[in-house]
Amino acid sequence: MSIGALFNSYLYHGNSLKKRFFEGWYFKFVDKRKEKSFAVIPGVSTGSSKNESHSFIQFLSGNRNESGNFTYPFKDFHSDTKRFAVEIVDNYFSTERVSLNMKNEKVKIAGEIKIIHPYLWPVRFYSPGIMGPFSFAPFMECYHGVVSMDHSLEGEVEVSGEVINLYGGKGYIEKDWGRSFPEAWVWMQSNNFDHARTSFMLSIATIPWLGRSFTGCLCAFLCKGELYRFTTYKGARINRVDTSGDRISVDLKQREFTIHVDARKTSGAQLISPVQGTMSGKIDESLTSEIHLKVYEGNTLLFEGTGTNSGLEAVGKLKLKD
């Protein structure tokens, strides 16, 4: 890992060509009418040998409930060492634009997307990303980063003959890197609320730590231009997590703030996920779920609204301490 990547979660962390390592950036797109959504995930996977190493781009369609994976040689992956810019053959990803040009026997995807006014996650030398001081821990199973909480879009993408008009649409970018995803987690995200410049992301996971494990959370809420952070290292307490059926309910408490989440999970499609660096796992993700959110500051209701076109995953069973 370069020194630049250590202090900036946006950048590529695998320059040392580690074994059993993965890294991927998650780009989500929703059209202005909130009728069509899709995500693309460029990344790399290195197994225990060079034969297991490759780069990839995953594609997930929300309205079609379809997914696909495009694989490329590892050498076709290129990244900038000073700013976030990733290239895989004829595909390009940054915080300014995305260029797509990929096809296989089932689907062809091509288009140019411009990213307008991204709300970039603030990077500090003592806190290079949403994980704060945990970003510097050298033995974490998985690291998480948020690149842009919210931005507007311009452009079009053609998916097997269907043109998706993204002018006036909304986008979001995050990333993961490490060895494996956790054994259990809940993740959800939406920036399609009735309120402008509003975005919400929540991740709760079982995290291995020094031979034991704990259930921790990363939560970010952008409201009226102000970014609120609710995380385990800031003292956030998970009071309740219920993932029964198609409803997911979460209650968080951090100092004077209380968050109530009631999400409805809709059907989705399968993505592949990392297991010890190799993309051999499978997860189901929806892009058409809903998140009803209430945020209190003391006894004052700071925000209430419903985010549509929400990304949502629920894997395994989370355990909270009594």
Task: Give pLDDT tens digits for 103-157.
Answer: 988 889 999 999 999 999 998 888 889 999 888 888 889 999 999 999 999 999 9
pLDDT in tens, 238-274: 999 999 889 999 999 999 999 999 999 999 999 999 9
Q: What is the pLDDT of residue 104?
A: 87
Q: 219: which residues sit within 8 A by CB, 6+ positions away?
A: 200, 201, 202, 203, 229, 230, 231, 236, 252, 259
- State what percent of residues in the chain have pLDDT above 70: 97
DSSP letter for 122, please: P
Length of the chain: 322
- pLDDT tens by residue, 279-314: 999 999 999 999 999 999 999 999 999 999 999 999
Please tell me the pTM assigned to this model: 0.96
Which pLDDT does position 322 carry in this prediction?
54
Q: CA–CA separation, 241 vs 255, rounded Å?
A: 19
205 has pLDDT over 60: yes
pLDDT at 126: 84
Across the chain, mean pLDDT equals: 93
Q: Which amino acid is it at 154?
A: E
Q: Which residues pair with 207 in a beta bridge?
A: 214
User: Which of 18, 25, 195 is CA-nearest to residue 93?
Assistant: 25
Q: What is the rounded distance in angstroms from the CA atom of residue 85 to the CA atom of residue 154?
A: 19
Give the C-alpha separation, 44 to 87, whole Å.
Answer: 11
In angstroms, the CA 151 to CA 117 distance is 6
**Distant-in-sequence contacts of 65-74, Cβ < 8 A, 24+ apart:** 65/267, 65/268, 65/269, 66/269, 67/269, 67/270, 67/271, 68/104, 68/106, 68/107, 69/272, 69/279, 70/102, 70/103, 70/104, 74/44, 74/46, 74/50
Residues 165, 296 contacting (CB under 8 angstroms): no
Residue with tokens 């993309």: 279
pLDDT tens profile 63-113: 888 999 999 999 999 999 999 999 999 999 999 999 999 998 888 999 999
Residue 114: name the closest of 149, 166, 62, 150 by CA. 166
Question: What does DSSP assign to residue 120?
Answer: B
Amino acid at 260: H
What's domain 3-315's superfamily in CATH?
AttH-like domain (2.40.370.10)
How far is the C-alpha of 274 from the C-alpha of 149, rounded, in Å?
A: 24
Nearest-5° Cα angle at 121, 117 to 135: 155
Q: Give the count of beta carbons closer than 10 Å to the beta carbon of residue 103.
A: 12
At 15, give phi and psi (nearest 5°).
-65, -20
Mean pLDDT to the nearest integer, 3-19 = 81
- Give backbone dihedrals phi and psi of 203, rounded to 5 degrees, phi first: -135, 125
